[in-house]
């Protein structure tokens, strides 16, 4: 039986504005909240050229080659076959918990 790793990100109430920069296991992510109220972690490294993803207006942006990503689900707006890796986030007892590895 496989046990999924869980990492407590903190109280859900402690996050007022999104996206929020989060580092887990020496890896940078953006914690986002979707319009449906779900949370997820989007990898802050561009799959195209390894650039540092930054928020810009309502998208996530890689300044190396100007790729942009949907800030809720990580899909690439330049190439629909690309997306940011992500980690699942669940709410347990008022805390945001990262579950498992990124996919």
Q: What pLDDT digit, counting tens, does each position of 18-33 carry?
A: 999 999 989 999 999 9
pLDDT above 70: residue 102: no
Burial of residue 69 (number of CB atoms within 10 Å: 0-12, 13-18, 19+): buried
The edge-to-edge listing of strands for the beta sheet with 67-70 is 54-56, 59-62, 67-70
* Nearest Cα residue to 42 out of 66, 56, 24: 24
58 or 4, higher pLDDT: 58
| Model pLDDT for residues 50-101, shown as the tens digit of each residue | 999 999 999 999 999 999 999 999 999 999 899 999 999 999 999 999 998 7
Q: Collect all residues with Cβ–Cβ distance below 8 Å to 77 and sequence separation of at least 6.
A: 59, 67, 68, 69, 70
CATH pick for 6-99 out of 2.102.10.10, 3.50.50.60, 1.10.132.20, 3.20.20.150: 2.102.10.10
Give mean pLDDT, residues 31-54. Answer: 94
pTM of the predicted structure, to 2 decimals? 0.90
* Whether 12 contacts 95, CB under 8 Å: yes
């Amino acid at each position: 039986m496989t046990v999924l790793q869980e990492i407590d990100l903190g109280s859900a109430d402690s996050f007022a504005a999104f996206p929020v920069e989060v580092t887990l296991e020496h890896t940078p992510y953006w914690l986002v909240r979707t319009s449906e109220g779900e949370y997820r972690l989007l990898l802050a490294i561009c799959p195209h050229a390894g650039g540092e993803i930054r928020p810009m207006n309502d998208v996530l942006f890689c300044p190396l080659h100007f790729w942009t990503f949907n800030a809720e689900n990580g899909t690439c707006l330049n190439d629909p076959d690309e997306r940011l890796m992500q980690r699942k986030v669940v709410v347990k007892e008022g805390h945001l918990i990262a579950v498992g590895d990124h996919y």
